[in-house]
Structure 1
């Protein structure tokens, strides 16, 4: 679902998903735990959401302990006895709770980040993508197909409303500057929506390159957006992939860099001090926000594999890049310093697609 790939199913996980659908999650998990509690997870770790194969119900959650180098795979199932679902998309943390968007299952699972134990779920969603917390009582979830952003209460796990986005079917990543939320509209679109977080309404639009997906805020409160150009698109055709700097106050594009359209441009992120950008364009690239041109060489050269997702540690700017290998077998994640020096390699689930730093 992240890049519209369709893969071969894994029958055992699909069967588990179908069976779990016949039983209330709380009852299912209660029967599995039988008085046992989850293991304590390090406070210095990284959750890795493994997408799994579309329509196979084999998404999983991994946890990597930065101090020991230990990786716990299939954490959600091992702790709760319940499959994570169909296509793990992203994860966000609010205090001690982690919210995991399960795209094709149309729900968000909530876990205790100290143990991995199930805490609840948010349902009634179409195809959730990313989560943004406005405060402790209000959060937003973007959606691939709903033409609306869902509003929910992160404390009660209840949907409280929606923000209609007519004309914009696919909403993606979110960044807040002051009281205004900026949201990328991805599929066959070229728009960043402006939303008033006080009254939950769309107040304006900013036009950027084709298919804006990644969105970050730098140290100067400037927005950076990565537009993938509809790589490999067959309906509306492929366009130039771009990395653009946008002034949120004026809506003007201050800088625009053309990226290689021969490879997927994806996974824009930023370092701990918010002065250096990272993104994938076949290789992994690193660029200061003050740069006037693209770097001459990548920070990590692709040896011929599939660099699929990227994360940068908000504490020390270590780089995490995933390798989907062939989209069928368990993937790898490479951990490197901010300068690209290798630190560790870990084995994860199928298609490691998102990082969430604890």
Structure 2
């Protein structure tokens, strides 16, 4: 049975369940090769969490390793890494709207326009171009010598892309002609990246953690996108996970994981003396900051086998809520 037939059979007799406009989608990775990725939805106003949303709405498993999710208008695009596809849902109902296939190992999605989107890839040595309206792949941007492309930030017509595994490069891509025009060298294994209020890039390089490079230093770096120069560099603890660089609503304060959860103004000349959230001995796995009110969402993978937790805090670190999700909550996508 194909996806559409499976979904039609499941939906018979079902009524639509509307999802709040004030909510957060949580992509739960699941375990590699287990096909148990799931999607949760958290209603910020009521505190209600709907788990296993994709399956309960569509009767279809999400797939193998849920990586990320991005929203364009009323559609949400969910990258399923090891399944090599992107599922598309209606963000008001959670219903299946289509899928994008022919991908190797999709990671993150960036919308250049309403008719063009890019998706990075862990293994393809190329960035795939697809049409968000037709769900068709329309081309690719070769990235020879850079097998692993990750997060994307656009400034003007230039897209900046981190190259992660065993790499130290940010690629520059012309979004008008879909070509690589240059590169910026940064620290070891640049992964997450944000743009601040001054159009400066901030990149978190995880060093050797989780990749194939040995002996690299974990660093937080400020990069001038016009000159390609590293303006600031802060050494992080390379013995712990350094990941998930995010930024607040005003785009003047960074937030990231380095075992604990840290906040730092973009004007800072040194790392903060204390974290905003101390790690009690668990696994802080992923981080999201609400683009509306700067609330902090931190996931706890616990042991990578049981269902995870998410802690919601105010921007000042005051606890608001704790919710239970699926296995390995790995990505937050905020409805706006």
Report the TM-score when normalising by structure 2: 0.98
- Name the residue aligned to 2:54: 76
Q: Distance in 2 between matches of 1:268 and 1:234?
A: 21
What does the per-residue CA deviation read over 1:166-220, in whole Å, with 9 as the maximum and x for residues that have no partner? 0000000000000000000000000000000000000000000000001000000
Distance 1:288 1:232 in 2: 27
Shift of 1:242: 0.3
1:34 positional shift: 1.3
Q: Is the 8 A contact 1:105 1:127 kept in 2?
A: yes
Structure 2 alignment gaps of length 5 or more: none
> In the TM superposition, what is the alpha-carbon distance from 1:154 to its structure 2 partner?
0.3
CA contact (8 A) 2:165 2:213 kept: no
- Deviation string 1:233-290 (CA, Å, 9 cap, x unpaired) is 56544xx100000000010000000000110100000000000000000000000000
Matched position secondary structure for 1:135: coil
Aligned-residue offset at 1:35: 4.8
How far did 1:298 drift? 0.3
Q: Structure 2 residue aligned with 1:343, among 317, 320, 334?
A: 320
Any idea what SS the aligned residue of 1:31 has?
helix
Distance (Å, rounded) in 2 between the aligned partners of 1:37 and 1:208: 51
Cα offsets for 1:3-60 (capped at 9, x unmatched): xxxxxxxxxxxxxxxxxxxx21111101111153431000000000000000000000
Superposed CA offset, 1:99-125 (max 9, x none):
000000000000000000000000000
Give the whole-Å Cα distance in 2 for the aligned partners of 1:317 and 1:304.
25
CA contact (8 A) 2:27 2:331 kept: yes
CA distance in 1, matches of 2:45, 2:300: 22
Task: Give yes or no for contact 2:290–2:296 (8 Å, CA) kept in 1.
Answer: yes
Q: How many residues align?
A: 334
CA drift of 1:232 comes to 5.7
CA distance in structure 2 between the aligned counterparts of 1:199 and 1:310, rounded to whole angstroms? 33
Q: Equivalents in 2 of 1:155, 1:101: separation in Å?
A: 16
> Using the alignment, how far apart are the partners of 2:213 and 2:261 within structure 1?
28
Cα distance in structure 1, aligned partners of 2:93 and 2:209: 39
The residue that corresponds to 1:63 in the other structure is 41
Tell me the alpha carbon deviations over residues 295-341 of structure 1, each in whole angstroms, 9 at most, x when there is no partner.
00000000000000000000000000000000000000000000000
The alignment partner of 1:299 has SS state of coil
Q: TM-score, normalised by structure 1?
A: 0.92
Q: Pairwise CA RMSD of aligned residues?
A: 0.9
Contact persistence 1:310–1:322 (CA under 8 A): yes
Paired residue secondary structure (2:112): strand
8 A contact 1:37–1:117 mirrored in 2: no
- Structure 2 distance, partners of 1:323, 1:339, is 19
CA contact (8 A) 2:194 2:246 kept: yes
The answer to whether residue 95 in structure 2 is matched with residue 117 in structure 1 is yes
Could you tell me how far apart the structure 2 residues matched to 1:274 and 1:233 are?
Answer: 29
Gap runs ≥5 in structure 1: 1-22
Of 30-39 and 210-219, deviating more is: 30-39
Render the CA deviation track for 1:53-89: whole Å, top value 9, x for unaligned.
0000000000000000000000000000000000000
**Structure 1 stretches (4+) deviating beyond 2 angstroms?**
35-38, 232-237
In 1, the alpha carbon distance for the partners of 2:323 and 2:163 equals 33
